[in-house]
Amino acid sequence: MPSDFPSPDARHPIRLADDTPHMGTVFLRAVIDHPRWQVGDYSYASSETPPEDWAHRLAPYLYAFSPERLVIGRFCQIADGVQFLTASANHRSDGFSTYPFAVFHRRFEGAASLPVAGPDTVIGHDVWIGAGARILPGARLGSGVIVGAGAVVGGEVAPYSVVIGNPGRLLRPRFAPEVIARLLEIAWWNWPIEAICAQEAAICNADLDALEQAARAVAASDPAQ
């Protein structure tokens, strides 16, 4: 691994000018210890007021006993104030009342006021979620999605889409369909970190030809790719 790139196990991967850690940014894999979370390497979250419990700050209704999961891919970027409202936050809305009686009388088995188990919330790779956004229960965000600040997003969002507003709506795709297909085939986020860093310019400057050439080299050096 490059000596200047932090390990995915680093709690505070950003160093300030005086070499002290920036306490408001964490690699999530290093700070999340929760049975219903699944988070990939190098995905980070930032907060102006860093919490003791990042799992609760980001997904306050995802409990250890929840049936659903929150799945976040690699290299995701989660800004200050983002919340994932997972399925355990839901109330029944198909009856005469949405009131969760069982939460108060605590007779949960077969309780009519509880909704059925909801779906997982799944975030792809290299997804940027802007400040204050809300991700609704069961949302599925494809790789490369950008969620605008303050957006409220549910349902399925196609890879490399830009979504804004409340309710969230597609602003535009980031690239042409054929480019998106090639990027998903390349899947650079699965490469070794050394190869990713070596191709920083190709990735960030949208040099697709160089990226495809690098992908062939990575595949040749690692048959598992």
**What is the Cα Rg of the chain in Å?**
19
Question: How far, CA to CA in Å, does 22 sit from each of 19, 80, 126, 148?
Answer: 9, 14, 21, 24
Map 50-113 to HEC letters: CCCCHHHHHCCCCCCCCCCCEEECCCCEECCCCEECCHHHCCCCCCCCCCCHHHHHCCCCCCCC
What does the pLDDT average to over 120-135? 98
Q: Is 18 exposed, middle or buried (0-12, 13-18, 19+ CB in 10 A)?
A: exposed
Residue 53 CB neighbours (<10 A): 12
Residue 91 a catalytic site member: yes
At residue 1, the pLDDT reads: 44
69 and 142 housed in the same domain: yes
Mean pLDDT of 108-115: 90
164 shares its domain with 196: no
The helix or strand, by DSSP H or E, that contains position 8, with its residue range, turns out to be none
Query: Looking up tokens 């699965």, which residue turns up?
Result: 190
CATH number at residue 108: 2.160.10.10
- Whole-number Å distance between alpha carbons of 218 and 134: 36
- Residue 163 pLDDT grade (very low, low, confident, very high; cuts 50, 70, 90): very high
Compute the distance between CA of residue 202 and CA of residue 84 in angstroms, rounded to an integer.
32
Residue range of the domain that includes 97: 1-174
Q: 193 and 216, same structural domain?
A: yes
Chain segment 138-154, per-residue pLDDT in tens: 999 999 999 999 999 99
12, 56, 91, 125: the catalytic one is: 91
The model's pLDDT over 174-196, given as tens digits with 9 standing for 90+, comes to 999 999 999 999 999 999 999 99
Q: Please, are residues 133 and 139 in contact by the beta-carbon 8 Å criterion?
A: no
Task: Flag whether pLDDT at 221 surpasses 60.
Answer: yes
Task: Answer whether 74's CB lies under 8 Å from 189's CB.
Answer: yes
* 169 and 150 inside one domain: yes
Report pLDDT digits (tens) over 38-57. Answer: 999 999 999 999 999 999 99
pLDDT of 108 reads 86
Q: Domain check: are 57 and 44 in the same one?
A: yes
Residue pair 220/186 in contact (Cβ under 8 Å)? The answer is: no
Total number of residues shown for the chain: 225
Taking a C-beta distance cutoff of 8 angstroms, is the pair 145, 124 a contact?
Answer: yes
pLDDT computed for residue 109 by the predictor: 86
Residues 195 and 97 both lie in one domain: no
Per-residue confidence (pLDDT) for residue 105, from 0 to 100: 93
pLDDT for residue 222 is more than 80 = no
Q: What is the mean pLDDT of the chain?
A: 95
Alpha-helical (H) ranges within the chain are 28-31, 54-58, 101-105, 177-186, 193-198, 200-204, 208-221
Residue 223's pLDDT band (boundaries 50, 70, 90)? low
Count of structural domains within the chain: 2
Q: Cα-flanking dihedrals φ and ψ of residue 170, to 5°?
A: -70, 120
Least confident of 1-10, 16-25, 102-111, 149-158: 1-10
Quote the pLDDT of residue 4: 84
Instruction: Say if residue 77 is in the same domain as residue 30.
Output: yes
Instruction: Specify whether 143 is located in the same domain as 211.
Output: no
With 50 as the cut, is the pLDDT of residue 16 above it? yes
Question: Residue 3: its pLDDT value, please?
Answer: 56
Q: What is the share, in percent, of the chain residues with pLDDT greater than 90?
A: 93
| More confidently predicted of 4 and 168 | 168
The model carries a pTM of 0.93
* Residue 44 confidence (pLDDT): 98
Q: Both 82 and 182 in a single domain?
A: no
